[in-house]
Amino acid sequence: METINQQIASDELSLLYFYTNWHLPSKQILEEQLTLQNNDFKIIPVNADQQHELVSRFKIIGIPSFLVFQNGEIVIRHSGMPEESTVLPWLKKEAENAKLKNEQSDNEL
């Protein structure tokens, strides 16, 4: 199994999703929406209560938090609860924007 460092270093988009079991809305997002099949990014759920090192490393101050990585760099960062019905569409839109930005950078080289 790949480590988190290997997963976020990939040129594919990876989502670190920080949640807790005691924060019901963040747990519901994980269970209901983020586990749905998608081809836009790899989802890496992180239980903030159990992964203190990652919480500290990425300076997580709010639950839920979403960090999207590409090539080891954070391309999207969002803390707090978006409207539940818009989480997956919002993430897909942001992922597409990140892909376009990366493609433009590659074309400029």
Name all domains of the chain by residue range, CATH numbers in brackets: 4-108 (3.40.30.10)
Average pLDDT of the residues of the chain: 82
Starting at the edge strand found earlier in the chain, the sheet holding 73-79 runs 42-47, 14-19, 65-70, 73-79
Which amino acid is residue 73, in one-letter code?
E
Report, as an integer, the average pLDDT of 3-31.
85
92 vs 17 pLDDT, higher one: 17
What are the tens digits of pLDDT across the range 43-96? Answer: 888 999 999 999 999 999 999 999 989 889 998 888 887 765 567 777 777 777
pTM: 0.77
Q: Rounded to an integer, what distance in angstroms lies between the CA atom of residue 44 and that of residue 14?
A: 7
Q: What are the helix (H) ranges across 1-109? A: 4-9, 24-28, 52-57, 87-108
